[in-house]
Amino acid sequence: MAPMDMVIFFLEIALMLSMALLCGQLMSRLHFPTVFGELFGGIIIGPTVWGWLSPSTYNWLFPVSGAVFQGRDALIQICMLFFLFAAGLEMNLSLVKKRGINIAWASLTGIVVPFILGFGMVVLFPDLLGEHFQGKTLFFAMFMGTALSISALPVIARTLMDLDLMNTDMGMIIIGAATINDLVGWSLFAFILSNFAHESIINISPYITFFLVFLLFAFMLTIGRALAQRALRWLKSYMPWPGAFLGITTVLILLAAACAEAIGIHAVFGAFLVGLAFSQNLEKRDEAHEMVYQFVMYFFAPLYFVSIGLKANFVASFDLVLVLAVLLVACIGKVLGVMLGLRISKMSWRQSAVIGFALNSRGAMEMILATVARDAGLIDDRLFVALVIMALVTSVLSGPIMSRLNGFTLSMA
């Protein structure tokens, strides 16, 4: 970069981070997830507000091409990798064993029903979603199904803590089902990207790519976890702790991201799997876990989520009919799907409803999926904005509805 480019780069990153932290803390004080404030901060300094008020200064500080843009884009990609690593680190697969039947049914129907409805939207109403996917309708329909199937584990966990449900049987079912939802959803998304818009360095067929995704997933849950456990023991014995953990995991995240890109899936899947490998070996109260969590939550995550507000003009790309359609299908599919599975597994209507609305929260994970899809050319700005708004609305509604229903169900949990 030229000296002036460096000045602009440092200024824009400083502005992005300060707006994200300021707006995030404001939302936190209002008892909303901080990610809402981070996104709104990006909308304020993005093309929606600042770009409309003063196009010349906005374009000077946030160019859409050149060295400054490339530097910012690279940093945002790294931020996304670390956030997905942290999301993988929060996974707790041991919960699946404790309430296996309930979790299995909630996950199965909570994925299948919204997936079918999302797939059906593309088949039945192609004009509503635009024409950019013409020629690859199958994979676009699979994407819509996946986008409406995932849940937001970080937001769900925070909501359960606020309602004092985290350590109940109901909390275990919710966290376990959300974990499986995210694992299945991101695996499907990796396969869809490899077929739709992502190019691999190695020339392999999409079906081999799908097999490699499955192989990587199985490796990280078995051999990867064992290697992670040995690595942690070695680090604690021979390296400065917890600093060494951050350094070594950074290396592993970047290597896994490179491998994922090489075989044609998105880099975030590699980072997610590294977090998954360490998730069962690192105690949540460990100082290394706390250090990584703080670094991600107060640097990488704010920068990433504020950057989402820079991606599109949320006013110009707002389509009310599309937003309402996506929101309606997402809520009906997830809530009724989860309730169906839990009723089959003999849970009460009210318990099933609480869990259904808990898993309906999309939050940060939906925003990441929408951003990656937009950057890959899989969706246009209209659908990107609709998915982001759906993620926000479902997360806002989740807590209050659960709280209202919880008065009837806490004694049963």
Please report, for the chain, the start and end positions of each structural domain, with discontinuous segments joined by +.
Answer: 73-412
CB-CB neighbours of 323 under 10 Å: 19
Residue 132: per-residue pLDDT: 58
CA distance 189 to 193: 6
User: Which pLDDT score is estimated for 411?
Assistant: 40
- The pLDDT value recorded for residue 413 is 38
Of the candidates 376, 242, 299, 265, the residue with the CA atom closest to the CA atom of residue 83? 299
* C-alpha–C-alpha distance, residues 387 and 374, integer Å: 11
pLDDT at residue number 364: 75
Q: What are phi and psi of 173, to 5 degrees?
A: -65, -45
pLDDT at 112: 94
Dist CA 115 CA 92 (whole Å): 24
The reply to whether the predicted model has a pTM over 0.85 is: no
Q: Which CATH architecture has domain 73-412?
A: Up-down Bundle (1.20)
Tell me the mean pLDDT per 10 residues along the chain, length 413.
90 95 89 82 92 92 90 91 83 68 90 94 82 70 90 73 70 82 80 65 63 77 81 78 81 88 77 82 70 86 89 89 94 94 88 90 83 84 92 84 66 39
* Tokens linked to 86: 């942290």
pLDDT confidence of residue 35: 79
What is the C-alpha separation between 148 and 88, in angstroms, rounded? Answer: 20
Asked whether the beta carbons of 393 and 338 are under 8 A apart, the reply is no
Backbone φ, ψ for residue 201 (5° rounding)? -70, -40
Task: Indicate the burial class of 63 (C-beta count within 10 angstroms; 0-12, 13-18, 19 or more).
Answer: middle
> 11 CB contacts (<8 Å, ≥6 apart)?
61
- Per-residue model confidence (pLDDT) at position 78: 92
Which amino acid, one-letter code, is at 260? A
CA angle 313, 316, 317 (to 5 degrees): 75
pLDDT of residue 1: 76
Between CA 74 and CA 1 the distance in angstroms is 13
pLDDT for res 205: 63
Coil vs helix vs strand at 139: helix
